[in-house]
Amino acid sequence: MTHEIQAPPRQIGFWTCLALVIGNTIGTGIFLLPAALAPFGWNALYGWAITVGGALCLAYVFAELARTIPNAGGPYDYIASAFGPMAGFFVMWAYWISQWVTNAAIGIGLVSYLEPFAPEFFARPAAGPLTAIALVIAMTAVALRGVRASGSVQIVTTVLKIIPLLAVILLAAVVFGGGGGTSAAGTMNIAPMPVGGAAIAGSAALALWAMQGFEAGTVPAGRVIDPGRTIARATLIGTLFVGIIYVLVTFAVFLLLPSEVAAKSTAPLADLMSRVWGSEAGKVIAAFAAISALGALNGWVFLQAEVPLVLAERGVFPRFFARVNEKGAPVYAQILGCGLSVALIATNLSSGMIEIYSFIILLATAATLVLYLAGALTMLALLKRGQAKGATVTAAALVGATYALWTFYGAGGQATAWGAGLLATGIPVYFLMKRARVPE
């Protein structure tokens, strides 16, 4: 049985909010991305520095938005307060698409780390995509059990997923602390690509995929206890922590795994540990990576229903998406998001896993950049009106907006076109809802 609620119960505290930020950011990206970044050489590390800096500026902007509008239901209310409900709808429409697209990508990435445990099974052409579909459905079932169930899974998996990343960092420290930095496992492993603006921009755009999720604490703002303080703390602490971990892990892979091996690897962290400590160590890393992806999938599946819920409550989406079950979970919003993720994976059953993953990364990055740019512009608008003030937040908003625009450039014209296309798909929905304003 479902019913409608005017305000979701506030059940998310600091630790669950922090777990959402860290857990949704650390997913499959850092476990797979070193392979994509390996050919960029030192450009990738410069790209990481820019990406982490840009992400921190944007995280600060979203934290300040949460403080400035503490009673908001999430990013929709932030944007609508500055630019009106139409702008809020289209930005969140694109972001909602990025969520269920991301769930498809995470499911696929998770499968790549399960392959070492059942190579014969996953050798079948459709085995990987079908397993990804099953995982998306399973996490949707968890989300339908409510905030407490999803929150518990998120906290446990967030703690577990940090372990292999710390192990890789520790391994690099041990090797180089023992004088291994000048050996064959040392600096010569970094690809010799010349450092240049275009290469840095390209690597930064790829790195952004792994950093996406720092805004996760703001999405369920209507469910967060003391949102102005809780969201701000969780967003800033979580983003800084993830940024430091990511840079150290990427540096370790670059120095310890030959660039030509890393570039062809589907599981670079597992391959690195296997080379140093044997195949069993690689399998342990693969298992933790799978747990990491599962935690990220849990978090993103939980959040994918929050956007339709808020849009329905604000009257710009069909009202039945505001219906929740006895656990407070938006049933129809979850079913819709799950169905779309499954359909996206299913339509690519005949494609290779890497091809599917690369396409989905492009989609998700383009859609999320729309929100990041809108968030920075919203803060600048509030500053201009006097609804917010401060030199630090002004600088962060300016840098964040510049960074978002620059990342569109780095992602290329295709990503920008996808961003515009995703926004355009919401046009008929918005105007049909504006014309009808009929609950169901």
* Residue indicated by tokens 């099953």: 134
Annotated domain spans of the chain? 3-436
d(CA 294, CA 306): 19
Instruction: With beta carbons less than 8 A apart as the criterion, state whether 356 and 42 touch.
Output: no
In DSSP terms, which residues pair with 12 in a beta bridge?
224
What tokens were used for 142? Answer: 């968890």
User: DSSP assignment, residue 224?
Assistant: B
Q: At what angle do helices 85-114 and 306-313 cross, to 10 degrees?
A: 160
What is the phi/psi pair of residue 41, to 5°? 60, -135
For residue 195, what is the DSSP state?
Answer: P
pTM of the model: 0.82
Q: Which strand (E) or helix (H) includes residue 12?
A: none
CA dihedral 117, 121, 125, 128 (to 10 degrees): -50
Query: 323 pairs with which residues across the strands?
Result: 4
Phi and psi (nearest 5°) for 437?
50, 35
pLDDT at res. 355: 56
Residue found under tokens 């102005």: 228
Q: Is 3-436 assigned to CATH 3.40.47.10?
A: no
Note the helical H segments in 185-317.
197-211, 227-256, 259-264, 268-277, 279-304, 306-313
Q: CB of 181 within 8 A of CB of 255?
A: yes
Dihedral sign (CA 59, 62, 66, 67)? positive
Q: Residue 165: its pLDDT value, please?
A: 84
Looking at residue 177, its pLDDT comes to 65
Our measurement of the distance from residue 116's CA atom to the centroid of its chain's CA atoms, rounded to an integer in Å, reads 25
In the chain, the amino acid numbered 84 is G
Q: What dihedral angle (degrees, nearest 10) is formed by the CA atoms of 292, 306, 227, 423? A: 100
Q: What is the pLDDT along the chain (440 residues), one digit of tens a residue?
A: 455 444 556 678 888 888 888 988 887 677 767 777 777 777 888 888 888 899 999 999 999 998 898 888 888 999 999 999 999 999 999 889 888 888 888 888 788 778 778 888 888 877 888 898 999 999 999 999 888 888 888 888 888 888 888 888 887 787 776 555 444 344 456 666 777 777 787 777 778 777 888 888 888 777 788 887 888 899 999 999 998 888 888 878 777 777 667 666 666 777 777 777 776 777 787 788 888 888 889 888 988 898 999 899 888 888 888 888 888 888 999 999 999 999 888 876 555 555 556 666 667 777 788 899 999 999 999 999 998 888 999 999 999 999 888 877 766 677 677 777 777 888 888 888 877 764 44
- Alpha-carbon span 18 to 5, nearest angstrom: 26
The count of other CB atoms within 10 Å of the CB of residue 120 is 7
Question: Which pLDDT does position 187 carry in this prediction?
Answer: 45
> 10 Å Cβ neighbour count for 380?
19
How remote is the C-alpha of 395 from its chain's centroid?
24
Provide the residue type at 210 as one letter: A
Burial class (CB in 10 A: 0-12, 13-18, 19+), 338: buried
Give dist(CA 422, CA 368) in Å, integer.
11
